[in-house]
Amino acid sequence: MKSIAQLDYDRSVSPFNIHDDFALPNFTFAQVQELFGQYTAEVGQAFAPEVIESIHKQTGGQPFLVNRFAQILTEEMDIPKAATLTMTHFLDAHIQLLDEWNTNLAHLTTNIRRNPRSESLLMRIMLHDEGVHFNLRNELINELTTYGILVRGTDRMCKIANPIYLHCILQTFKPIVNGLERDYFPEDTDEFQYLTDTGVRPRNREQRQKR
C-alpha cells in the first residue's frame, strides 16, 4: 500500500483508478453436485441425491454453509466411510447447524442488529403477504444485500437468501417470553395458576403430572 505521494507517476497507474465491481456468487446446484462428487471420488463415500438437493435448498448455495454441512456429515458425525450419507444423516446435521454458533451465523446476527430498522424490514419480508420490492437504491435493502442476507426473487421482491438464514433471523428477534406473564400473575407467583369459579388457584407439581 502506498500514499499518493509515494506513487511513481511515470507509470500508467492512476491513484484514482476505478476498478470494476465483482461478486462472489453462491454455488449453483450443479456446482454443489460437483463438489460432493469430488469428495466421493477421493474418499469413496457417496451422498444420496436427495441429500445434495436438500443441502443446496437449505443453504441457497452459500459457500460457507454448504461446506459446513459437508464437514458435519463427513467429519463430526462418525458415519462409516463405507455408508452412504442419507436423509436421516442430513436431518441430524441440519439440526446441529441450526443450533450452533459459527462464524457465518455470528456475522449474520451482527449485521441484522447493526441497523435498528432491519428488524421491521426483515419481518415485513418474511411475515407479510405484500412483501417488499427489491430496490438497491434503498440504503437498508442495499446494505442487507451486500451482507448476503437479501436476494432478488424471481418476482422482483426481496427474499431471504436461504432457509437457514430465515430461521436464524426469526430466532434472533424472537423474545424469550411474550412479555405478558406479569400482567396476569403476581410477581411473587412461583407456580402455574389457573382460574376457577372461586378465584385463582395454584396448580402444584403433582397436579400437573396427573394432567
Residues 154-170 pLDDT 10s: 999 999 999 999 999 99
pLDDT at 198 over 70: no
pLDDT at 188 over 80: no
Residue 17 confidence (pLDDT): 53
Who contacts 132 (Cβ-Cβ below 8 Å, separation ≥6)? 121, 124, 125, 141, 157, 158
Site of grid cell 456475522: 107
**Structure pTM?**
0.74
Mean pLDDT of 106-121: 95
- Written as nine digits, the cell of 207 is 397436579
pLDDT at 112 over 90: yes
